[in-house]
């Protein structure tokens, strides 16, 4: 699987406790009209991801035919710290040995939250999973060995309770100060390589994920009165009296991240083919504008030194994280406190530049 990681990087640089329960996922309200063809997009159709990539990065779409593909419905409750969802994942065996199981990571269970899985199916057949690593590992048995080059479709429902504290792992998964930070909040396929399935309980002081480049189609349903910021590109959006629905395409990317708050305000500017959007709570507009300008200059420098930034969007969100900043594909989270008096804060510029740089040396 290291080949997947290297392929996308090359294009960028050169061109619960967890219990097996009855279904708990809550579908969008029945009075909401959805986009019927979005999550029905053919599994190997990469066209929907094209507009999210700058021209120099689009050849990667033809080089990742065996990458995992996620179709996810994610429903955020009114309280902003409960999430339910449904996930279908197409996994292809890109190794040279047959596989008789597929491993998923349930990171909320070691990040202070709780993730539960139900209605697990493999190619429409119900299966019973095994769990490990403090319920952060989901082992899905396959009815027959998956030969090299073959694919399998794995379905599950999930629910997540978000911790209301930033104490664990810098608050990457937390609801605090009216901001929901939703990192690694879906069942994530583990990496298989020469070492086998890569799985461990990572230290709380570091990055918890190791993932292959994948493709994501995600439908997010959230309260209407919040601003939702995600990885990737919003393909379509609609609202009712109570909720908003965003259909998002992201990839190739190693993860899917979301932040939301009723207090976010947006600042935007353009750098070449890239739209930079900065989101902060009210009262931090000056810092928000400064963040966008710093990110724009960072893109200019890194584009010249390395290769074009691959995505058509770069988002910056202020969150209560205890880290100065954290990187995700196409989006970076910056701790809110360094925005105040940002021009005089010695950490502000360096933190934003550092996190922008991870778009080349992480994703």
Q: Is the residue at 125 inside a domain? A: yes
Q: Is the residue at 362 inside a domain? A: no
Q: Based on the domain organization, do 269 and 249 belong to the same domain?
A: no
Residue from 181, 157, 177, 160 nearest 169 by CA: 181
pLDDT tens over the chain, length 363 residues: 444 334 444 444 434 334 333 333 444 444 444 445 799 999 999 999 999 999 999 999 999 999 999 999 999 999 999 999 999 999 999 999 999 999 999 999 999 999 999 999 999 999 999 999 999 999 999 989 999 999 999 999 999 999 999 988 899 999 999 999 999 999 999 999 999 999 999 887 778 889 999 999 999 999 999 999 999 999 999 999 999 999 999 999 999 999 999 999 999 999 999 999 999 999 999 999 999 999 999 999 999 999 999 999 999 999 999 999 999 999 999 999 999 876 668 899 999 999 999 999 987
Q: Based on the domain organization, do 339 and 218 belong to the same domain?
A: no
Residue 342: predicted pLDDT: 64
Give the C-alpha separation, 82 to 25, whole Å. Answer: 11
Query: Is residue 331 within 8 Å of residue 231, measured between CB atoms?
Result: yes
Query: Is residue 256 within 8 Å of residue 231, measured between CB atoms?
Result: yes
Give the C-alpha separation, 205 to 326, whole Å. Answer: 12
Give the C-alpha separation, 293 to 196, whole Å. Answer: 43
Residue from 306, 335, 319 nearest 57 by CA: 306
Q: What is the DSSP letter of 96?
A: S
Please report, for the chain, how many H helices and E strands are present, in that order.
3, 24
Q: Is the residue at 156 inside a domain? A: yes
Q: Based on the domain organization, do 39 and 174 belong to the same domain?
A: yes
Domain stops at, among 212, 245, 261: 261
What does pTM read for this prediction? Answer: 0.89
**Could you tell me the maximum CA-CA distance found in the chain, to the nearest angstrom?**
61
Q: Based on the domain organization, do 53 and 120 belong to the same domain?
A: yes
Q: Based on the domain organization, do 276 and 347 belong to the same domain?
A: yes
Quickly list H helices, the chain.
2-14, 285-305, 348-357
CATH number at residue 59: 2.60.40.1730
Angle at the Cα of 84 from the Cα atoms of 79 and 86, rounded to 5 degrees: 160
Q: Based on the domain organization, do 140 and 277 belong to the same domain?
A: no
Domain stops at, among 261, 292, 324: 261
Q: Is the residue at 363 inside a domain? A: no
Residue 29: predicted pLDDT: 46
Residue 35: predicted pLDDT: 43
Query: Is residue 259 within 8 Å of residue 317, measured between CB atoms?
Result: yes
Q: Based on the domain organization, do 208 and 299 belong to the same domain?
A: no
Give the C-alpha separation, 266 to 288, whole Å. Answer: 8
Task: Provide the domain limits for residue 287.
Answer: 264-357
Domain stops at, among 223, 240, 261: 261
CATH number at residue 303: 1.10.390.10
Q: Based on the domain organization, do 141 and 13 belong to the same domain?
A: yes
Q: Is the residue at 252 inside a domain? A: yes
Q: Based on the domain organization, do 295 and 146 belong to the same domain?
A: no
Q: Based on the domain organization, do 75 and 201 belong to the same domain?
A: yes
Cβ count within 10 A of residue 280: 26
């Amino acid at each position: 699987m290291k080949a997947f990681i290297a392929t996308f990087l090359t294009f960028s640089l050169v061109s619960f406790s967890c219990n097996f329960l009855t279904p708990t996922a809550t579908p969008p309200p029945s009075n909401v009209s959805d986009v019927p063809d979005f999550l029905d997009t053919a599994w190997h159709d990469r066209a929907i991801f094209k507009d999210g990539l700058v021209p120099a990065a689009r050849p990667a779409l033809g080089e990742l035919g065996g990458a995992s593909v996620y179709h996810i419905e994610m429903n955020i409750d009114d309280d902003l710290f409960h999430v339910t969802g449904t996930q279908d994942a197409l996994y292809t065996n890109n190794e040279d040995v047959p596989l008789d199981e597929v491993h998923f990571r349930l990171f909320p269970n070691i990040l202070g939250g709780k993730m539960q899985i139900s209605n697990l199916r493999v190619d429409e057949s119900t299966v019973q999973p095994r769990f490990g690593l403090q319920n952060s590992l989901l082992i899905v048995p396959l009815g027959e060995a998956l030969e090299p080059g073959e694919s399998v479709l794995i379905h599950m429902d999930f629910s997540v309770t978000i911790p209301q504290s930033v104490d664990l792992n810098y608050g990457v998964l937390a609801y605090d100060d009216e901001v929901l930070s939703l990192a690694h909040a879906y069942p994530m396929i583990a990496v298989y390589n020469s070492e086998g399935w890569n799985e461990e309980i990572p230290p709380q002081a570091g990055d918890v994920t190791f993932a292959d480049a994948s493709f994501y189609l995600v439908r997010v349903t959230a309260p209407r009165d919040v601003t939702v910021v995600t990885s990737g590109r919003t393909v379509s959006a609609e609202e009712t009296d109570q909720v908003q629905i965003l259909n998002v395409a992201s990839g190739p990317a190693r993860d899917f991240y979301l932040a939301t708050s009723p207090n976010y305000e947006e600042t935007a500017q353009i750098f070449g083919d890239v739209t930079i959007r900065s989101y902060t709570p009210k009262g931090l507009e000056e810092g928000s504008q400064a963040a966008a300008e710093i990110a724009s200059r960072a893109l200019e420098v890194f584009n010249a030194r390395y290769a074009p930034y691959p995505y058509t969007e770069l988002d910056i969100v202020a969150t209560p994280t205890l880290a100065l900043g954290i990187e995700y594909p196409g989006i970076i989270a910056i701790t809110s406190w360094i925005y105040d008096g940002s021009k005089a804060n010695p950490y502000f510029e360096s933190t934003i530049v550092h996190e922008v740089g991870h778009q080349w040396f992480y994703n």
